[in-house]
Amino acid sequence: MKIKLLLIIFILCSGILVSQTLFTTQRQFTLSWEKLVSTDEYGLESYSYYFDGSINNFKYGLFPVLAWRIPVQSTMARLKNLNIIPEERTEVPVNRLMGADLLPSQIAYDQQIVEIEGNRFLQVELLPMRKLDQQHGYTTVEFLKNITLVAEVMDYPEATEGKPKASVSAILKSGMAEDSWYKLRIPQSGVYKLTYNDLQSMGLNPAGIDPRNLRIHGNGGGVLPEGNSIERHDDIREMAIKVVGESDGRFDPTDYILFYANGPDTWNYNETIKRFVYEKNPYSDYSYCFLVVGSQPGLRINAFPIPEIPVSITLSHFTDRYHYEKDLVQLTKSGRQWYGELFDVQTSYDFNLSLDGVEAGSKVWLRSAIVARAFTNSVMKVMAAGNTLLQQSVGSVPSSGLDAEYAKRVVDTTSFKVSGKDIKLSYQYLKPTNSAQAWLDYFTINWQRALSFGSGQMSFRQPLPFSNNDAVKYHISNAPTSLEVWDITDPTRPQYMQLQQSGNVAEFISLADGLHEFMAFDGTSFFTPEFVGPVANQNLHGMTDVDYIIISHPDFLEHARQLAELHQQLHDLRVEVVTPEMVFNEFSSGSPDPTAIRDFMRHLRKVSQNKNKPYYLLLFGDASYDYKDRIQGNSNFVPTYQSVETLSPVNTLATDDYYVLLDSTEGKGAAGVPDMAVGRIPVTDITQASNYLNKVRNYLNNSQETMGDWRVSLCFIADDEDGNTHLRHANELAEYIDNNHPVFQVNKIYLDAYDQVTTPGGQRYPEVTEAINQQVNNGALLINYTGHGGETGWAHERILEVSDINAWKNFDRLPLFVTATCEFSRYDDPQRISAGEYAFLNPEGGAIALFTTARLTFGGSNITLNRSFIKYLFSKINGKYPSLGIAVMKAKQEGGSDLNGKKFILLGDPALTLAYPENNVNALTINGVSVDIPSDTLKALSHIVITGEVANSQNYHLSDFEGSVTATVFDKESIIFTKGNDPGSNPTTFTLRKNVVYKGKAEVKDGNFTFSFIVPKDIEYKLGKGKINFYAQSDEIDAAGYFNRIIVGGVNENAGMDENPPHIELFMNDLNFRDGGITDENPILLARLSDESGINTVGSGIGHDIVAILDDDTRHPLILNQYYTSDVGTFTSGSVRYGFKNLSEGEHTLRLTAWDVYNNSATATLKFVVKNSSSLEISRFYNYPNPFSYNTWFVFEQNQAGGRFEALIEIFDLAGKKVKTIRQVTEGTGYRSEPISWDGSADNGALLRQGFYLARLTLTDENGNIMMKSTRVIKGGNQ
């Protein structure tokens, strides 16, 4: 029997006078549940669940959510009823369920409006699991498997009232575009004074200023509202000020300016609890305003008009308030919350307070917030005058678990009586265990005090029952005759109150129409603003129809402008480069508030003629969780958005998505989906910025060095264990590419398919590490990793570590990395460079960009986002591949306002498009038969001739294409068996096309090419589908293609005979190397192979691989099939290039065996000596011929391949006299120099006599290191 769970919400319709539309829609969902195992640092396992297509949201944290989008017309649309019909469900007892305490006992859901490219959706987010029971560590969970959702939706298609108001206006000219501006810093709220001397100290000439034209601009302090629908000032508002002595038009030495300014923090009245609460600015300890010297009169303070209604209330008291909070420690290096005093060794603190004006015996209100980290419940006692005011009980936190909260935070309130104004407030932590710790967050006090003026300045206010028909009289005692009172309710437009003074009592009348804030002062004490400096004129509001915005820290402005020029020249984008301060100046009154960047983007989108512009935002500079530079060496160059949540690893995040959440319903708490593409360049110095720019320039440059078939190579890497979850996810992505985009070659590195090795440091996969490093150094368009990871690398077995990343040298072959793992690229910790950042910053290679994670993420949502990203990354839009940023944006839009997705960031240029080959390569004939006609099978030992063409993206022949094509002919897919190395790894199989029948190059002439080869004897004889991948390049453009309608198998019974073995020559780095020569610790093996029938690389015959053995270590052979490429235009010769890493110093022996396609083999041996490249060393220096008569050539061998050297050769006779000097700069790829010629003449041009001479070589490398070596030269007679 079906069970209906009816969950009903009601819409409060009061005040909405618009047409309503009620409609019903339904959808059926089938959920395929999977279990994930997570292991913490102590080896303890815990479990979580997800289903295919699940996301995570802020409300339900780590639990998987089903998202259903219902198209609507209004932002006011809401569910009226949601009927959940579970057609199939199951109950499962789970031990150590992650987040078990937070799982609700009822099926729960949430709803939100999602806007994507002008389309609105009501997104229903359902948590399809609930807790039935929890005891003894086990949680019984009900999972919904098949459900039908029936939604009744109330929409308001014609709604004009009640909609959120647009919070960004269309101002097209900022006030900062003209006049002279001077930035001032405000540390606290109050009345500020600027004197003649103050203006002089700012570099102004007050005597030359008409004070009537002086202005102050500012927006009132505090933080900007995150919700886009909330009103805010656009541009910098002019403030009302008082200028004493301005009437004569001269700024005399006795003249001065008075103005009120709010500090960085704000007080707000909470209507629910009827108390004032404090909001500390997380971004800055200062607010800012601007002194402006203009040409027109400025705004001045006016009188508050005396109400012409009867006074119904007289006040002689007000609510005063006090707040204590120190930011001393950040517990998790994530989020905005910092905490104060530590209760550990010291378990108690006293705070002496003075509550001015409080009456003895009256009650004060106390709010206290504390944080504790203890594995059992603990208590903080708050006391005053020996009485316990509060006992704040704090729950325990788990001792382990990836999802475990670091600490618990509690907030409690109380009221207590005081005997006088002086109070000692004491906090005492009752530590339950030695390891328990606690921190004070803050405490706030409200009290009633007499409205009696003391001296200096005093702010006051009193909450009242609000009525527009009531007037209220304020009665101030102890008032001097010099007293002024300003209404500062609007801090930018204060008004002075008209006082009635009698003796020491001053009174004024105001309205009871809302909460009014006042400032009283007697002129004896003013604050002085801190001068920051002059500000150049700017007008960000005047930008229109911009494609790309780069916000760069000033240190990197030149690099940002060069990047902008690249995009302007190559992609015809209109790019604007600005600094964060410029944005803050116009959009947050100079305060470094991240919301200003988002408001800037909203403004640009609003004023653009194209509703989708701008497309891109780039943040050029690193970020930090420390907004206020409390950490030494902080890296907050361009801020990121940090969540309020700090203590929960599930819900805390740092995201740049916040800046591109532009719709009216979005913003608060980073809710919403991105409307622009955003990326970040996480550099911290000019060198890093230059290195990045060099990488981008090189990547975008279609040169012979950067083009290559790496551009059609994709690699998917999967972690082991977790019931093969990561392998299944990676393989799903790989098969998607194979099935939908076969032009790309897919490699798979799945850990459980390799041997696992036990070491003193734990389990390792050395072959996986080697495979990853080789893949990176060989190049790939994309490397996609799925599995466990962290800030230092990938997987528990440490398959990738920082040392590997820093050793990558793939400058011309940079991949995009996608890492569906935890916090691999945490970019906002100034005290640690994450592994992902190292990959990005590697000056000699690494990554061109990363779509990567900065916080804890979960596998279910990871694959959902990864799947969408891969889909968009390889799907053309209007015939062109998308940029990285657009692919990321669309993938995140598809996932909705996903908590997990916001933890993925793009490190890199969002406008950059991967180096996809732009044109096509087509196979035309096989052995003279059109590929449109079924052709003969590719049989073993058969001779195959293939012709083809290069065409443009519309498949029109490119007759002017001149260059080469690389063809890779694959055998059938192989079935790979995994090994079940761990209990969580189940033996399984996957397919991989890895056996290469032939790989070689052919010349392309007039857009046509031909290549031929003999099919190796070692192919699998069973018939099956093979595949050919093509990659072609000219001097300027490239192309790619494939043909997958070939059949491979069987044997040619009429094949000729070949009993001759291949010919092998071995070198290191280049062909100049000689046996016994020296190398550095990272040499490149260069093997030249030739055979009349071709070299066997297919890899399916036992023992018939190209295999190298180093130092007779037969347990670790190097299989080099994939590194062999035939020479251009022939299949009978080719070469192997293989890079070694970190070889030990000393002599080594390399033995290489190769087979031809008839399985004839040959072996060659090479000896070489490794010398550490950290110090320059010359192993040999000689000349040939020796003796000589007319010409000889000097050659030297050194240990730094590819270096640039200055060689100084000095020739001495037997008496020690120098007779000849030769200078030459040499550089190359190998360890052996190019020959340096000498004709036997002296420096004066005369030929030397026959005899013995000494030649001395002085070699200087690029770092200034010097090494010398000498040799004897014999000069023969001149004939």
Query: Residues 1034-1083: pLDDT tens digits?
Result: 999 999 999 999 999 999 998 989 999 999 999 988 888 889 888 888 88
| Whether 318 contacts 462, CB under 8 Å | yes
Domains and CATH numbers, the chain: 19-155 (2.60.40.3800), 172-316+452-534 (no CATH), 317-450 (2.60.120.260), 536-670 (3.40.50.10390), 685-907 (3.40.50.1460), 919-976+988-1051 (2.60.40.1930), 1063-1170 (2.60.40.650), 1178-1275 (2.60.40.3880)
Q: What is the mean pLDDT of residues 819-844?
A: 97
pLDDT band with cut points at 50, 70 and 90 for residue 41: low
Q: What is the mean pLDDT of residues 77-81?
A: 93
pLDDT in the model for residue 42: 66
Q: Where does 329-464 show beta strands of DSSP type E?
A: 342-343, 348-354, 363-373, 378-384, 387-394, 408-417, 422-430, 437-450, 457-461
Range in 195-199, 488-492, 1240-1244 the model is least confident about? 1240-1244
Beta-strand pair 471-476/311-315:
parallel
Range in 134-143, 343-352, 777-786, 897-906 the model is least confident about? 134-143
% of the chain beyond a pLDDT of 90: 77
C-alpha distances (whole Å) from 576 to each of 477, 638, 682, 998, 1140 are 58, 16, 19, 49, 45
> Quick one: which of 894, 1132, 1163, 868 has its CA closest to 1000?
1132
Give the whole-angstrom CA distance, residue 1217 versus residue 1213.
6
pLDDT band with cut points at 50, 70 and 90 for residue 1174: low
pLDDT band with cut points at 50, 70 and 90 for residue 469: confident
List for the chain the helix, strand, coil content (%; round to 5).
15, 40, 45
C-alpha distances (whole Å) from 361 to each of 367, 385, 395, 447 are 19, 13, 34, 12
Angle at 198 between CA 193 and CA 204, to 5 degrees: 125
| Whether 1013 contacts 1094, CB under 8 Å | yes
Encode 800-822 in three state secondary structure: EEHHHHHCCCCCCCCCEEEEECC
User: SS3 for 309?
Assistant: coil
pLDDT band with cut points at 50, 70 and 90 for residue 163: very low
pLDDT over 70 at 169, yes or no: no
Burial code (b: 16+ CB inside 10 Å, e: under 16) for 642-661 equals: bbebbbbbbbbbbbbbbbbb
pLDDT over 60 at 730, yes or no: yes
Q: 915 CB contacts (<8 Å, ≥6 apart)? A: 699, 706, 711, 781
Report which of residues 1273 and 16 the model is more confident about.
1273
> Quick one: which of 579, 598, 590 has its CA closest to 641?
598
pLDDT in the model for residue 168: 43
pLDDT band with cut points at 50, 70 and 90 for residue 165: very low
| Whether 1020 contacts 1161, CB under 8 Å | no
Q: Tell whether the torsion through CA atoms of 777, 779, 781 and 784 is positive or negative.
A: negative
Q: Amino acid letter at 1104?
A: H
Q: What is the pLDDT of residues 781-818, one digit of tens each?
A: 999 999 999 999 999 999 999 999 999 999 999 999 99
Q: Amino acid letter at 425?
A: L
411 C-beta neighbours (distance < 10 Å), count: 12
pLDDT in the model for residue 1073: 86
Q: What is the mean pLDDT of residues 500-508?
A: 96
Burial code (b: 16+ CB inside 10 Å, e: under 16) for 694-732 equals: ebbeebbebeeebbbbbbbbbbbbbbbbbebbbbbbbbb
> Quick one: which of 936, 1100, 934 has its CA closest to 1016?
1100
pLDDT in the model for residue 1228: 62
pLDDT in the model for residue 10: 31
**DSSP designation for 1246:** P
Q: What is the pLDDT of residues 1201-1214, one digit of tens each?
A: 767 788 899 999 88
Give the whole-angstrom CA distance, residue 579 versus residue 549.
10
pLDDT over 70 at 953, yes or no: yes
pLDDT over 60 at 541, yes or no: yes
> Quick one: which of 703, 690, 701 has its CA closest to 569?
701
pLDDT over 70 at 9, yes or no: no
pLDDT over 90 at 147, yes or no: yes
Range in 100-104, 165-169, 506-510, 855-859 the model is least confident about? 165-169
> Quick one: which of 626, 641, 551, 548 has its CA closest to 595?
641
Arithmetic mean of pLDDT over the chain: 92
pLDDT in the model for residue 16: 40
pLDDT over 70 at 15, yes or no: no
pLDDT in the model for residue 333: 97
Give the whole-angstrom CA distance, residue 984 versus residue 1209.
65
Q: What is the mean pLDDT of residues 990-1011?
A: 96
Range in 954-968, 1129-1143, 1220-1234 the model is least confident about? 1220-1234
Q: What is the pLDDT of residues 868-912, one digit of tens each?
A: 999 999 999 999 999 999 999 999 999 877 889 999 999 999 999
pLDDT over 90 at 56, yes or no: no
Q: What is the pLDDT of residues 273-283, one digit of tens each?
A: 999 999 999 99
Q: What is the pLDDT of residues 1115-1141, one digit of tens each?
A: 889 999 989 999 999 999 999 999 888
pLDDT over 50 at 85, yes or no: yes
Could you tell me how far CA 599 lies from the centroid of its own chain? 21
pLDDT over 90 at 133, yes or no: no
pLDDT in the model for residue 1217: 87
pLDDT in the model for residue 118: 83
Q: What is the pLDDT of residues 405-439, one digit of tens each?
A: 999 999 999 999 999 999 999 999 999 999 999 99
Find tokens 């950040």 and name the residue: 330
Tokens representing residue 712 in the block = 């059609």
Query: Rounded to two decimals, what is the model's pTM?
Result: 0.89
Q: What is the mean pLDDT of residues 600-623?
A: 93
pLDDT in the model for residue 969: 96
pLDDT in the model for residue 4: 37
Q: What are phi and psi of 92, to 5 degrees?
A: -135, 125
Q: Of the segments 17-21, 132-136, 494-498, 1066-1070, which one has the largest average pLDDT value?
A: 494-498
Q: What is the mean pLDDT of residues 1260-1270?
A: 83
pLDDT in the model for residue 1099: 77
pLDDT over 70 at 1020, yes or no: yes
Tokens representing residue 716 in the block = 């998917």
Give the whole-angstrom CA distance, residue 883 versus residue 849.
12
pLDDT over 60 at 1279, yes or no: no
